[in-house]
Amino acid sequence: MAVELSEGQIQEFLHGISVPPQPQIMVDLQMEQLMPEPDLKAIARLIGQDPGLSGALLKIVNSPHFGLANRIASIQQAVNLLGCNTVINLINAQSIKGEMSDETIVTLNRFWDTAQDVAMTCLTLAKRIGYQPADECYALGLFHNCGIPLMVKRFPDYMQVLEEAYASNNDERRVVDVENDRLNTNHAVVGYFTARSWRLPEHLCEAIANHHNLLAIFTEDSSRNARLKTLLAILKMAEHICACHRVLGKQAEDHEWAVLQPTVLEYVGLSEYDFENCMDSLNELGVGSA
């Protein structure tokens, strides 16, 4: 049974969250809620394309107010639990959080586009290699870079720093090392704390924190991190398939993947040939853009 929240309660839940929603998604959602009978599945599908809206939604449904035994990462499940009126109140609350400049919107389009593409590719890869629940992989793909818009807000030249980070082809230098050197923090750390504020499942938060730290994770002999390794392997394959190095980093070559590929493919049991075929089939389906 859906539990309805007031606009005031939603504003309280959203306090401190500032990952902006995509303007076009907000327009589409506003249009849907004006229908005589809003389609909850359509609303869930639209929300599931946007990290900011999805994060706000999961923060509410994973709060003590609902008393769930386990935190969830499924947007459709969250929408069903909240019900139509509360979800519409959430959308309206997000729509009044302030206008963005045209320049900011253009900059963040790179983030929004990759978030949607990587999320869908993660979901598809999870189903192909048999990882359950696949919804977790979609959530990881959607949220893994949620620190980027907050870094953009805090550091006006952040995207230039990120491009420099992706340009590094030093095997021992991670993407986040460049950010740490220049800004004393990085988008993975900011994303981790954002994900925790949204009350995402802890293992997803851990994956977000470590999504540029794979070699350290994979060199651990312990099987304790089997789930984390699988999530990160799927994410890195998806990032490469979706050409995040081009969209976010403006780089022709994916230097990070060149370092990680042997480790990742060995872990998931794919040869380079298998992975190339997988990429081709996903591209034919319209998933990914490499």
pLDDT at residue 17, as a whole number: 54
Domain count of the fold of the chain: 2
For the chain, residues with pLDDT lower than 70 are: 1-18, 95-99, 221-224, 287-290
Q: What is the dihedral of CA 264, 268, 273, 277, to 10 degrees?
A: -110
Q: What is the CATH number of the domain that holds 157?
A: 1.10.3210.10
- The answer to whether position 266 is within a domain reads yes
Instruction: Find all residues with CB under 8 Å of 12, minimum gap 6, and list them.
Output: none
Give the DSSP per-residue string, 139-206.
Answer: HHHHHTTTHHHHHHHH-TTHHHHHHHHHH---TT--HHHHHHHHHSS-HHHHHHHHHHHTT--HHHHH
Domain span holding position 37 = 7-95
**What is the C-alpha to C-alpha distance for residues 144 and 162, in angstroms, rounded to an integer?**
15
Residue 250 C-beta-side C-alpha neighbours within 13 Å:
8
Asked which of 47, 74, 95 is the last residue of a domain, the reply is 95
pLDDT at residue 274, as a whole number: 92
pLDDT at residue 18, as a whole number: 65
Residues 124 and 224 in one domain: yes
- The answer to whether position 27 is within a domain reads yes
Q: pTM of the predicted model, to two decimals?
A: 0.86
pLDDT at residue 68, as a whole number: 87
- The answer to whether position 289 is within a domain reads no
Residues 259 and 139 in one domain: yes
pLDDT at residue 201, as a whole number: 94
Which residue from 247, 241, 290, 289 is spatially nearest to 265, judged by alpha carbons? 241
